[in-house]
Amino acid sequence: MVNETHPYAQADIVSVSELRQWSYCPRVVWYGRSMGDYRPTSGAMKAGIDAEAERQRLETRRGFSQYGITAVDKRFQFSVRSDSLGLAGRIDCLIETTDVTFEEAQAGLRPNEWNWDDPLFVPVEYKTTFRVQQKHNVMQLAAYARMLESLTGTAVPFGFIVMLPEEEVLKIEISSEIKRSLDFLIEEVQRGLVSDELPRPTPHSGKCQNCEFRRFCNDVW
């Protein structure tokens, strides 16, 4: 059962997965934190983890033609944390477009004859859904782009979402509008984490059909 004490501490860092989940339904984050290791795992979640692992295995042997960009390296399950943004997460695949690594960029190194408009880093997320352009997926990618910008001081104007298992690649431009939505979402989640009240349920009841927390939402069902 859900703990009666409030599960959040004010100083908590929000994970990017939680940011995405909050955008999907705020209660999913609340229940997830309350239950910790006892959180139920659905068959769909396990299938998604397997599909992402298989994509990573295949991707290590491939170049960058599928993304339509020139690049140098890919790094998988890349952990990032930004205390200034209050966010942490793990990017499925981080593309480095030049010889300058993420760590070198953090230290201030830049390629020769580099233009500010040329991105050095591109985040890639793998998703096992056809509706990848749903807001919660775009917010997750935008959060990684924002963290990479904040940590390296370089522009990250776009990222990719790979739809599994077909492996179709979708380029997502991180527009000003998306950045504004992300700022609003981060603020909403951070406010929600210190509130005493159970967050609102999603207004889209279709999301509840296969939700692992459905049995806890007595006021919805």
Structural contact between residues 124 and 91, judged by C-beta atoms closer than 8 angstroms: yes
Question: Rounded to 5 degrees, what are φ and ψ at 213?
Answer: -105, 10
Closest distance of CB 38 from ligand SF4, Å: 15
CA distance 88 to 67: 25
Q: Which of residues 18-77 bind ligand SF4 (CB under 6 A)?
A: 25, 27-28
Task: Identify the CA nearest to 146 among candidates 54, 81, 78, 77.
Answer: 81
Closest distance of CB 209 from ligand SF4, Å: 9
The site that binds ligand SF4 (CB under 6 A) totals a number of residues, namely 12
Say whether residue 211 binds ligand SF4 (CB under 6 A): yes
Say whether residue 213 binds ligand SF4 (CB under 6 A): yes
- Coil/strand/helix, residue 47: helix
Of the two residues 109 and 220, which places its CB atom closer to ligand SF4 in the complex?
A: 220
Peptide bond into 201 cis (omega under 30): no
DSSP string, 109-121: ---TT--TTS-SE
The sign of the CA dihedral 59, 73, 182, 193 is positive
Say whether residue 207 binds ligand SF4 (CB under 6 A): yes
Closest distance of CB 31 from ligand SF4, Å: 6
Of the two residues 51 and 217, which places its CB atom closer to ligand SF4 in the complex?
A: 217
Of the two residues 147 and 211, which places its CB atom closer to ligand SF4 in the complex?
A: 211
- Coil/strand/helix, residue 97: coil
Of the two residues 24 and 121, which places its CB atom closer to ligand SF4 in the complex?
A: 24
Closest distance of CB 135 from ligand SF4, Å: 14
Q: Per-residue contact track with ligand SF4, 184 to 203, x per CB under 6 A?
A: -----------------xx-
Closest distance of CB 35 from ligand SF4, Å: 12
Closest distance of CB 88 from ligand SF4, Å: 23
Q: 184: which 2 tokens? A: 């609003």
Q: Where are the alpha helices (DSSP H) in the chain?
A: 16-24, 26-35, 43-59, 102-106, 135-152, 176-193
Burial of 127 (0-12, 13-18, 19+ CB in 10 A): buried
Residues contributing to the site for ligand SF4 (CB under 6 A): 25, 27-28, 201-202, 207-208, 211, 213-214, 217, 220
